[in-house]
Structure 1
């Protein structure tokens, strides 16, 4: 059996073109266009009646004027014609929108007058996201977005039915993993791997309760700053004779801050991360929902941080760099955080799922999260570097494992950065005047752009030179040996 013939197939993985959900034209903007037309028509109906039927503007209701002049039938025909034209335009738009999946890529084409085509190579897909905006949920539709490595390379399928979206995600992940079905005995159908994906409940890893979602916002720096403004700054300005105008000037700041905090709570409600054999599945949202699958080997860097106010509760935030998120949406917090608020136990369970090298490394992870000095065999910053970071120098350090680089830092805000060796693209070394004076340097393993800054700070100058060469060799070798993109062939069970 050839590779092409043995590719796992369902009704979508057949190389044929398939149409999107019939409501796609409306959901992609048509319903808002109709609303605008109705609004404009309602406000300009007197002028429209005068223009179309040549009736004088007598100041009465246009509908009454149409009835008085026996123009009901022409008016009805015009309305019917507009409706038919709109339906026809939407139908043509739907007929022109289709997608295809074969053994190498996913292709989407759309447009009536101006045809457009977008293609996603399966081996460059970094994740699959299914989102269900409110209007789409009302008609049982979902939007599928394929995160693809490259600038503005993501591909959207807007829209599919809920069942089709889930099935397509299973197909794409199976093909992206390089999986091929086993040879089936003669007379028997090969077992479909996608069915297991769709029905696999997975193992819950992170579950954000309503109390935790609200508490994380109440203990955020944004809310603290807002309280300081309202309770301290405004009264001080009033006491200095600034007058009511000073207080009023802070109203937009308060409204904006409250809006941001409210959105953050809504985003974190019903947030969950589930472990599956195809990586982790991230779900969030109440009114509009989103579900994303992050396959193994697609995470280029991780950043785990704990703000000072979260320390008593033991909460952490986990962010990642991924190739499909490198451009366009970098500033969206919902895209940056893989786990917006997680407990220590949840973090210790989640990290090995994203970086398999960290499996059975609980003591190392704990040392990276809360340790200092040489705890966990970290290489600490030399004592002479305390002048550059007087509070954080004891926690600053790095550690090389068999397949990743860990960098620890932060005093008020604890931070841990993890970079898989196979994801390093290059290495740089920087040494400013003060660093040269104190004989320290900064080593920067480069990965795809994103919220995670992969920096090893306050490294002894001599060690930094050796580390620079070492990381270059490690990165080249790790990329050559990396087979994480074929996780199913390796029998990965997550």
Structure 2
């Protein structure tokens, strides 16, 4: 039965999956263990029986406490789908009722954290328009129920009947990025090379000079950095699949934790093309997208990957994907470049700074180690600012800022000629007004 289609169910509400308490307990146990392991690394070490006993207590204690809290949360949480809104009632001591009108729903995503995935469960993430608390989550549902509920909510958000919505939306695959290519791209990135070479050099130096404890202060931060790079760029982008449907592009990714994310066409605020130094030799690049409502959210691991549109691609594929979201875009546009006298602010980078526009988009480029090209449709321009500091005034320079929602897109023209910058601002304001009709 489609959730919300039964009158009695609408009155009473539905609970999430009973195994939610087990998943919550496992997450608490894992968090407690990670914290204790970190203290062991900087404390007595693995050989101490007290440390091992503390680890066992943390595992058991975290599991028991987490399951207890998870059970109470599950017991007092219900969700109701009626004719106008989704309502989530929760709270053990203090009761809360979150009401989500269908017309405010922007997208509905499915996340499968590792522990939940083991039990066949998933988290439903509902993104709404506006506000800092624009995300609402339902933890946890069976994967089949999560997909069915997503279908129902998206149908009602678009003003159609859930009975008319197909069980499986017809989608066409745009590209599948193989894990091998993701790994090669990660290995050939400068930050990975620096972290890996630095860690190896410290370990070799510690062994050679017999100062392992002293070197540990550098090995741990570099090792942590290396692990974060691997988690964000390999594990989270594993088996990256990009497909298109009637309502937007869908991204499915992840090795341990799996995520299914939808990017509605209307919510795209801009796209950033990132070209790392080594990748440029192979013609590779990365696409990141500004999506309204995703800026303030990160993944459970603390890394925000919701902005990745393509983790690695060649120019032809990237252009085709950008054209899906921003028809009529172009990077070969009339340019206003930073003058030579701006080199005092960027001795090398000034050569690579310019802005330009065509009839559809505003484009800004900068960066000589990692080249970044930001593309913003004119009708998505929120405001335009001309900024000039005291040193810039002395050199007759100014910075143009085209404001978009917080995210990876940074469409700024830094240290342009002051007169040209003022002309760019006025022209962009006129284009934005005309694009909005």
**Alignment TM-score > 0.5, same fold:** yes
| Structure 2 residues without counterparts, runs of 5 or longer | 32-63
**Separation in structure 2 between the aligned mates of residue 28 and residue 229 of structure 1, nearest angstrom:** 37
**Separation in structure 2 between the aligned mates of residue 435 and residue 252 of structure 1, nearest angstrom:** 41
Matched residue count = 396
Q: Is the 8 A contact 2:2 2:152 kept in 1?
A: yes
Aligned residue among 284, 306, 330 for 1:315: 284
Q: How does 1:221-370 map to 2 (within 5 A)?
A: 221-230=190-199, 243-264=211-232, 265-329=234-298, 332-358=303-329, 364=330, 368=331
Q: What TM-score do the two structures reach when normalised by structure 1?
A: 0.69
Q: How does 1:16-165 map to 2 (within 5 A)?
A: 16=10, 18-23=13-18, 25-27=20-22, 29-30=24-25, 90=71, 94=74, 96-102=76-82, 104-148=84-128, 149-165=130-146
Decide whether aligned partners of structure 1 residues 357 and 116 sit closer, same or farther in structure 2, where only a CA change above 3 A counts. farther
Shift of 1:253: 2.9
Identify the structure with the greater strand proportion: 2
Decide whether aligned partners of structure 1 residues 32 and 192 sit closer, same or farther in structure 2, where only a CA change above 3 A counts. closer
Shift of 1:279: 0.8
The residue that corresponds to 1:436 in the other structure is 393
The residue that corresponds to 1:424 in the other structure is 381
Shift of 1:29: 2.1
Shift of 1:415: 1.0
User: Once the two structures are superposed, what CA deviation does each residue of 1:237-280 show, in whole Å capped at 9, x if it has no partner?
Assistant: 999x8955543433313431342233132112111221211111
Secondary structure in 1 matching 2:375: strand
Shift of 1:416: 0.6
Decide whether aligned partners of structure 1 residues 388 and 103 sit closer, same or farther in structure 2, where only a CA change above 3 A counts. farther
Decide whether aligned partners of structure 1 residues 285 and 346 sit closer, same or farther in structure 2, where only a CA change above 3 A counts. same
**Separation in structure 1 between the aligned mates of residue 406 and residue 29 of structure 2, nearest angstrom:** 40
The residue that corresponds to 2:51 in the other structure is none
**Separation in structure 2 between the aligned mates of residue 231 and residue 34 of structure 1, nearest angstrom:** 32
| Structure 1 residues without counterparts, runs of 5 or longer | 1-8, 37-82, 182-190, 359-363, 369-374, 482-494
User: Once the two structures are superposed, what CA deviation does each residue of 1:48-101 show, in whole Å capped at 9, x if it has no partner?
Assistant: xxxxxxxxxxxxxxxxxxxxxxxxxxxxxxxxxxx9xx99x94x7546422234
User: Which protein shows a greater Rg?
Assistant: 1
**Separation in structure 1 between the aligned mates of residue 360 and residue 155 of structure 2, nearest angstrom:** 25
Q: Is the 8 A contact 1:300 1:419 kept in 2?
A: yes
Larger RCO (CA within 8 A; separation ≥ 6): 1
**RMSD of Structure 2 on Structure 1 (CA):** 3.6
The residue that corresponds to 2:148 in the other structure is 167
